[in-house]
Amino acid sequence: MKQFVAEFFGTFWLVLGGCGSAVLAAAFPNVGIGLLGVALAFGLTVLTMAYALGHISGCHLNPAVSLGLWVGGRFPASKLPSYIAAQVLGGIAAGGVLYLIASGKTGFDLSAGFAANGYGKHSPGGYTLLAGLVTEIVMTMMFLLIILGATDKRAPQGFAPIAIGLGLTLIHLISIPVTNTSVNPARSTAVALFVGDWALAQLWLFWVAPLVGAVLGALVYRFLGQPDKSSSPTTG
């Protein structure tokens, strides 16, 4: 139970910190943090929670990560439903808190997007569905490669949260203009439920693409991460 509660609060922090920075601080008059600040905020949420909760639950905070870790042989299938439920519920709780905060400002309007993910006319840069699909698949695939590689027992110990947090920051720097960056179905669901309308209609992509990307990333790392028997010393 502690693992699932940790996933709830970890995902809560990711959505509140990442989406909160986008909604509350990205364009704040004169001192807005902009795209760079939002990207860094998402990375910092993962980095801080990885150190705070990683030893309890593994700090997945993302249904795609949990699925990828299972495909990669690092996570039992029996825990997938509970982890995913905890992540989605934690994200929705954060979305609710963010809504209460953001709606306290005069002129607040959900139609501004509320940090929801989208494609077509709801893409920040007007990118097509295909562009959004490819972006989310590739970015999530690379995210899983980073996670699996950084947490490999052969990797330098203690630095995985830094690599993963900076990896997520880089992913946001690349893809915020395309889809507002998901790579995380729980993060997308958390704000889409409050926006409704187009955000819910397009939510399917931000479940399908990250899950597909996670599986691809895990399969690639299973191939790359296997010891090369041909380079091992022979006996006899």
Handedness of CA 41, 50, 67, 15 (dihedral sign): negative
Q: Tell me how far apart the alpha carbons of residues 202 and 224 are, in angstroms, rounded to a whole number.
A: 34
Picking from 230, 66, 209, the residue whose alpha carbon sits closest to that of residue 141 is 209
Confidence band of 31 (pLDDT split at 50, 70, 90): low
Q: Tell me how far apart the alpha carbons of residues 231 and 233 are, in angstroms, rounded to a whole number.
A: 7
Ranked by mean pLDDT, the top range of 18-32, 106-120, 134-148, 218-232 is 134-148
pTM greater than 0.75: yes
Tell me if residue 34 falls in helix, strand or coil.
helix
Q: 83-116, pLDDT tens digit by residue?
A: 999 999 999 999 999 999 998 888 888 877 799 9
Which domains does the chain show, CATH number per domain? Answer: 2-103+113-225 (1.20.1080.10)
